[in-house]
Chains A and B, each alone.
Chain A
C-alpha cells in the first residue's frame, strides 16, 4: 500500500497528520496477519475505507470480521502487517477522538441511566454532539431517564449506537448493530446509518443480515477464513457469484442448453427448466429464437444470500 507509506512519512515530518484528501483511504489494514496460537484469524488481509462510504464486512462466524474491527480500533495488535487510521496509529488518543465504535457487549453497566451513560461518553470527546441531538438520532427520547437494566433488547442496542456516535466521529465501526432489533427499529437505524454517510462520515459495519448489507452498503467485502474472497457493490457481488437464473417451459433439450455460452447449470424442476447463466441476455435471445413455444418466463437475480453462500462455500 503506497498510500499508507506516504501517510507514514508525512507523519514522521509533522506530528499532526494532514486532513485526508478525498479518495485517499482514511483507514487501512495492509497485509494483516493475526494468529492466536496456531489459529489464524486473519491471513494477509487488505482493507481500506474511503471518506463517506458505508462498507459492509460479511462473512460466516469466525471469518475474522470482529478481529478486523478490533485491529482498526487498536484494541489488538496484528501479528504482522499494519493498521492505520487517519494516517496514524489507531491507539493514539487523537485518532480515537475521531472514531466511534459499537461493539458486541454482553453486559453494559446496568445501574446507570441512559442520560448518565451519554454524559460520561460525551465527556471523552473534544467536540461531542448535543445530548438532545444524540437522543433524537438514536431514538431514545422518552427513555433517557431509565436505568439501562430497564430497557428492551432493541433499546439497549440503540444506546450502544448512541455511545458510538456521541463524540461526533468521522469514522464509525458498527459490529452487528441491529442484533435483537425488530424490523421497524432495524429500518430506523438503517436510516440513521445512511444519514451518517450523507454527512460525509465513513461507516464500517459487520452484519449477519445480508438484507442489511444490500440495503446500506456502497461496498461489500466478503471475508472467509481471514481472507478477502470478494469485494464490490452489492450488484457486483451478486453478478460475480453465478449470474442470473432463467426459468421457463421449453422443449429445448438439456444438452442443447448446456452448449449455450455462459450457461453454468441446467436443472428441471416441476416441468420447468431452470438455467443459470452469467450472460442471461444472450442465452435468452438464443432460447427464444429456437423455441417459439417457450412460455412462463421468469428471470431472477440471486438474492445476496445465495451469492454469499456461493462465495463462502470454500
Chain B
C-alpha cells in the first residue's frame, strides 16, 4: 500500500483545478445529453417557437394602446420557454436519474454533489438562452418587433435569473414526484400556470376573475419582470415582483433541502 500512501497528498495541490474540471465536464455532458435527447430538446425548444409563430407573428401589426402585441408576446413566450426547459430538464431529468439508481452510482463516486446541481442548473440556463435567442430572432425578423441592444441584454439576463429560479422548482418536483409520473405532473403544473399568468396571451384579454389568480403564481412575477424591460408591466411595483420571485426560489430550495435530508435520514 506504499503507493497509495505517497499518492494521497498529491491530489490536494491541484485540487481546485480538478474540481473545476469536474464542474466543466459534468456541465458539458449534461448539456450534450439533453441536446441529444430529442424528446426533450425538440419539445422544449419547439413548443414555444411554434406557439410564438402561431400567436405572436399573427399579431405583428396589433397594438393595444402603446403596447406592440407581438413584442409583448415575445416576453411571455420567452418566459414560457425558459420555464419549460428548467422544469422538464431538472424536474423530469433528476426524477428519472433518482429512480434509475444512476444518481446513487454518482453519489457513491467522489463526484462533488454541487457539480451535479451546477450542471443541471447551467444546462437549464443554456437551454433558456437558446430558446429566448431563437424567439428573439423570429420576433425581429418576422414579427416586426424592434429591440434595442440594451433590451436584448436585459432579456438574456432575466432569462438567466428565471432559469435559476425555476430550476429550484424543478428540483423540488424531482424529489417529490415519482419518475414515471413526472412528465405528466410537470405538464399539469406548467401549462395551467403559464396560461393563468398570461404567458400565452396578455392577461388583459382574459376574464377579470381569472386575472386575480395571476399574482399568486411565480410565473406571473417572472413575466412581469421580463415585460418591464419593454415598459409593458402591470401596475404592481417591480420590487414586489423581485421579492415574490426571490421568496419563491428560497421556498423551493428550502423545501428541497428539507425533503432531501429527510429522505437521506430514512434511506
**Would you give the 0/1 interface string for A94-134, flagging 1 where the beta carbon is closer than 8 Å to chain B?**
10111101011111110110001001110111110000000
Contact assessment for B102 and A109 in the assembled complex, using a CB-CB cutoff below 8 Å: yes
Q: How many A-B residue pairs have CB under 8 A?
A: 97
**Would you give the 0/1 interface string for A189-201, flagging 1 where the beta carbon is closer than 8 Å to chain B?**
0000000000010
- Contacts A76-B267, A97-B11; is A123 near B18 (CB within 8 Å)? yes
Contact assessment for B37 and A111 in the assembled complex, using a CB-CB cutoff below 8 Å: yes
Whole-angstrom distance between the Cβ of B179 and the nearest chain A Cβ: 9
How far apart sit A127 and B3, CA to CA, in the bound complex (Å)? 11
Stretch at the interface among B28-36, B79-87, B203-211, B247-255: B28-36
Is B239 part of the contact surface with A, judged by Cβ < 8 Å? no
Is A274 part of the contact surface with B, judged by Cβ < 8 Å? no
Is A73 part of the contact surface with B, judged by Cβ < 8 Å? yes
List residues of chain A with CB under 8 Å of any chain B CB: 16, 18-20, 36, 51, 70, 73-77, 93-94, 96-99, 101, 103-109, 111-112, 116, 119-121, 123-127, 147, 160, 163, 167, 170, 200
Q: Which residues of A have CB within 8 Å of B109? A: 96, 101, 121, 124-125, 163, 167
Whole-angstrom distance between the Cβ of B39 and the nearest chain A Cβ: 10
Q: Select which of B4, B11, B25, B99 is within 8 A of A106 by beta carbon.
A: B99
How far apart sit A105 and B108, CA to CA, in the bound complex (Å)? 12
Whole-angstrom distance between the Cβ of B183 and the nearest chain A Cβ: 15
List residues of chain B with CB under 8 Å of any chain A CB: 1-2, 4-5, 7-8, 10-11, 18, 21-22, 25-26, 29, 32-33, 36-37, 96-97, 99-102, 104-105, 107-112, 264-267
Q: Which residues of A have CB within 8 Å of B104? A: 70, 75, 103, 105
- Contacts A75-B104, A101-B105; is A127 near B7 (CB within 8 Å)? yes
Contact assessment for A75 and B267 in the assembled complex, using a CB-CB cutoff below 8 Å: yes
Whole-angstrom distance between the Cβ of B114 and the nearest chain A Cβ: 12
How far apart sit A99 and B109, CA to CA, in the bound complex (Å)? 8
**Chain B interface helix/strand/loop/mixed:** helix
Whole-angstrom distance between the Cβ of B202 and the nearest chain A Cβ: 38
Nearest first, the 9 closest Cβ-Cβ pairs linking A and B are A126-B11, A111-B36, A107-B100, A96-B110, A19-B5, A19-B1, A106-B100, A73-B108, A76-B267
Question: Please, could you name 8 A-B residue pairs with CB atoms under 8 Å apart, sorted by A?
Answer: A16-B8, A19-B4, A20-B1, A74-B108, A93-B112, A109-B102, A116-B32, A123-B22
Q: Which residues of B have CB within 8 Å of A124? A: 22, 109-111
Whole-angstrom distance between the Cβ of A169 and the nearest chain B Cβ: 10
